[in-house]
Structure formats: structure tokens, C-alpha cells
Amino acid sequence: MKTVKYCILSLFCVSLLLVSCEDNAKDEEWGISLLYMPQSVLGDGGQTANLSIGVHTSQQSDTSIVVGMYRSGLAPIEAVTANLVIASDTLASAIKLADAGDDTHKAFKNAKLLPSDYYELPDNISLSDGQRENHVFIKLNKNKLFSDSHTGPFVLPVKLDKPTRYQLNEERSLTFFIFSKK
């Protein structure tokens, strides 16, 4: 009887092992391909889309800040272009919430939109066929920033917009670049 139970248990284990040996799904094309900005998770691990940048007077040259686009998913990677726009309305809402005492928006207390003549930013960003990520730069004019009398932070809300293909990850397609004078 003990031998029969052992044989049945062995057959069950072997059959379970054989059933579980199917093709791996990890290499299949699946999921939705989304575009997002990696910088939107760098500041605090993805809790907000804020990226704080201290700008120091000791450095004489203009500052360059990376702005990237990443395509997630396992489908074949095809070329795509997305616009880089300034989400000033979103920033205005965040500043209003901060001024009203909302703790989740306290980074925007006394904040001001970075004037357009204080920086250079390309109009769009592209990925080529087979390219999963790419980046461009914000070139910050430090002389103009430090000659401004505003003592609070300057914010540049950069958003991916109108991609030629794929969808945007709405939570991660916007980054608030928060510049503070040091």
C-alpha cells in the first residue's frame, strides 16, 4: 500500500512538472506601449512629478538639465515623436493649492513660472526605430536667473504631448523642474 501511494505521488509530481514546462510568456509581445518622462520619478521615487534642482552661483556656465522620453512595453519599438510643451495651467493650479495651504503642493509655495527667455528647450523629442529612450536638454541661462529679484523657486513644467504613435502615461508624462538659487 505504501508503494502504491508513493507511485501515485511520483506520477502526480512528474505530470505536474510536465504540465508546467510550457513556453515562456516573457518573450511574447504584450501589453500597452506607453511613453513617459523618466525625470518624473527621479525627485522622490515617483510620489510626485517634482524634480528639484539647485542652481549654484559658483558655476559660471549655463546649466544643462536632461529631459527624456522612454517607451515601455514589449511590442516592437517603432519611431515616435512627441511635442515638449510647457504646462503653465497645471503649474498655476499647483501654486494656487500651495498658497491655500495644501501640504501636498508645498513645493510650489512662492513659486513662479520660469520665464521663457531664461531657458532653451527643443520643441519635440523623438525615438528612432529600435530606440527605447532618448533625451534632450533644457539649457538654463544662469545670468538671467540670478539677476531676477524673485527669491522663491522657479518652475518649468515640461509635458510630453501629441505623440505620433503610442499612448502617454498620463501620470508620468509631466515633470515639474523646480529651480532654486543656491
Name the amino acid, one letter, at 60. Answer: Q
What are the residue ranges in the chain where pLDDT is below 50?
Answer: none
Domain edges within the chain? 27-181
Alpha-carbon torsion, ordered 30, 35, 41, 45, to 10 deg: -10
Q: Could you please report the per-residue DSSP string of 86-147? A: E-HHHHHHHHHHHHTT-GGGGGGTT-EEPPGGGEE--SEEEE-TT--EEEEEEEE-HHHHHH
Is residue 112 a contact partner of residue 150, using CB atoms and an 8 Å limit?
Answer: yes
pLDDT of residue 2: 64
CATH 2.60.40.1740 fits 27-181, yes or no: yes
pLDDT of residue 82: 97
pLDDT of residue 64: 93
pLDDT tens-digit map of 115-127: 999 999 999 999 9
pTM of the predicted model over 0.75: yes
pLDDT of residue 41: 87
Q: Tell me how far the alpha carbon of residue 111 is from its chain's centroid.
A: 21
Cα separation, 66 vs 38, whole angstroms: 10
pLDDT of residue 24: 56
pLDDT of residue 157: 97
